[in-house]
Amino acid sequence: MHADREVAAAASADLTPPKKQRPTLLILNVVTIFLGIGVWWLVSISGIKLPTPPEVVQAAIKMAANGTLWTDLGASLTRVLTGFVLGTALAIPVGFLMGWYPWARGLLEPWIQFFRTVPPLAIIPLMIALLGIGEVPKIFVIFLAAFLSCVISTFQGVVQVDKTLINAARVLGAKDGTIFAKVVIPASTPFILVGMRVGLGSAWATVIAAELIAAQVGLGYRMQQAQIYYQLPVIFVGIVIIGGIGLLMDRGLLWVENKLTSWQERR
């Protein structure tokens, strides 16, 4: 127990708490959102065939009233969250394994790098051919996108842990399990969370593409149907909802990152 406390102290000795108050950034975020809406409005009334913000709001209200919006949103969210959670849950232990054991890195890294060069979207036709147009192929490609984003980040976090901290822990008598729990995991946490944020964006991009190809419900499917009938406000409703929910989920992960890495020195 004494060795555990010394290892934890050695791992965080040179780090200072970050500044948590960022009101200026929050104000700038709000300002830039309103500026973006204003630019969109000006462009839409300048003669370019784009729906105005009020037209998009009206379309969203109509879709919400008839239940279409909630059905599509629920389907897309379920697919994204299922694939993202499964992909992240597997990526973290695999990344730790690759970073900690050279034999695991030798066995797994070539395959991970191979699949990283193949966009998950390119696998969608294969999954549909093998598994049909049900939920499994959609969730699988989302899982793959999230897994590949997070596993590399986790691996990099492990291999970039300061060797001095690990050696100091060994000198203090800590075993591999203690070193891993007290040094490697805390030091890798920022990398893991960054990988999760990237994986979340990949998951959204992948699910929309999957729904464009083979789905009967979902935001991507609804946007494709709107494109066929030239319903531009409906397309914009999908874009705004996807971007808005993606932004909120990313900010949620960023909040978790700030909480879990408050010991990390920041600029």
| Backbone phi and psi for residue 51, each to the nearest 5 degrees, phi listed first | -70, 145
pLDDT at 222: 93
Q: What domain range includes position 92?
A: 2-17+49-260
Q: Is residue 221 part of a domain?
A: yes
Output the domain CATH number for residue 105. 1.10.3720.10
Specify the higher pLDDT residue, 164 or 247.
247
- On whether residue 30 sits in a domain, the answer given is no
Summarised one tens digit per residue, pLDDT across range 205-237 is 888 888 877 678 999 899 989 988 889 999 999
Is the pLDDT assigned to residue 188 strictly greater than 50?
A: yes
Alpha-carbon radius of gyration of the chain: 23
List the one residue out of 144, 143, 141 whose CA is nearest residue 212.
Answer: 141
Phi/psi at 14 (nearest 5 deg)?
-100, 15
Q: Which of 135, 133, 143 is nearest to 81 (CA)?
A: 143
Does the pLDDT value for residue 46 go beyond 60?
yes
pLDDT at position 11 is 41
Tell whether 132 is covered by a domain. Answer: yes
Residue partners of 7: CB distance under 8 A and separation at least 6: 168, 169, 172, 174, 178, 179, 182, 183
| Count of all residues that appear for the chain in the document | 267
How much is the pLDDT for 15? 39
pLDDT attached to residue 130: 84
User: Structural domain tally of the chain?
Assistant: 1
- Which residues are within 8 A (CB) of 21 and not within 5 positions of it... i.e. 6 or more apart? none
In a domain, 42, yes or no: no
Contact residues for 66 (Cβ-Cβ < 8 A; gap 6+)? none
pLDDT tens, 52-88? Answer: 999 999 999 999 999 999 999 999 999 999 999 999 9
Residue 16 confidence (pLDDT): 38
Q: Is residue 104 part of a domain?
A: yes
Average pLDDT, the chain: 83
Burial 89-99 (b: 16+ CB within 10 A, else e): eebbebbbbbb
**Per-residue pLDDT reduced to its tens digit, 111-147:** 998 988 888 778 888 888 888 778 888 889 899 999 9
For residue 44, the model assigns a pLDDT of: 87
CA nearest neighbour of 76 among 205, 195, 229: 205
In a domain, 200, yes or no: yes
- Between the CA atoms of 221, 222, 228 and 231, what dihedral angle is there, to the nearest 10 degrees? -160
Q: Is residue 22 part of a domain?
A: no
pLDDT band at 6 (very low <50, low <70, confident <90, very high): very low
Q: What is the pLDDT of residue 76?
A: 93
Domain annotation covers residue 101: yes
The average pLDDT across 235-252 equals 92
Q: Global pTM?
A: 0.81
